[in-house]
Amino acid sequence: NVKPGTEKYLYEHILESRNDYEISMTGRQLNMHDNDVYLHVIRLAQEQSAGQFIFFKRSEFLRALGKYDSDREYKDLLQSLKKLKSATIFIGKGKKGEGFNLIDDISWDNEKGYWFTLGSNLINQFKIAPKKGVTLNAKLNPKKPLAGAEIDGISFIDLNARLKIKK
C-alpha cells in the first residue's frame, strides 16, 4: 500500500497496454483509502446524470466507509477527493484517444457539506441498477496505482471493455 504523503506524481503512467491502445494516468498515485472513497463516490452517483452535483455530508460519507468522525478522517477524505479530482485517465494510442478526470468538480464547506460531479464517460460506464448496488470490498493492488479495484465484478481498470475509443 502507498503510505499517505509518500505518493509519487505519475505522468502518463501506463496502467494497461495493448496493440491498439493504452490506458495511462497522470496525477498523484492513489492508495487504498482513495480507492474506498472513489467506490463510494460511484455508489452515490449511480443513476445520476452526468454533470449533476451530488451532495453528501462528510460524517455520513465516513460512516458508509466504516470510519469514525474525526479531524484526521475529515482531512483524509478531502485529500482523497482532491487527488481523485486531479487524476486524469487517458485512453488511446496514436491518432485517437480521450481523457477524463475521475471526478469532474468538487466543492466543500465543512458546515454544509460536500458536492461533486462526474462526467459522462464515468456516469455512462458505471450506470448500475439500484438493486445491484456497489460493493466496497475492493482494495487497490499496491504495485499498480489503479489496478485491482472492482465494482460488483467490473474491474475498475478493465476499461478496455467499458470505455471505448470513439472511432
Q: Quick: pLDDT tens for 122-140.
A: 766 655 444 344 443 334 3
Give the other-Cβ count within 10 Å of 98's Cβ.
Answer: 13
User: In whole angstroms, what is the distance from residue 23 CA to residue 157 CA?
Assistant: 9
> 159 is written with which cell numbers?
476499461
3-state SS assignment for residue 39: helix
The whole-number average pLDDT for the span 75-98 is 91
Residue type, 34: D
Give the CA diameter of the chain. Answer: 50
Which pTM was predicted?
0.74
Express the helix, strand and coil content of the chain in percent, nearest 5 each.
30, 25, 45
pLDDT interval class at 147 (50, 70, 90): very low
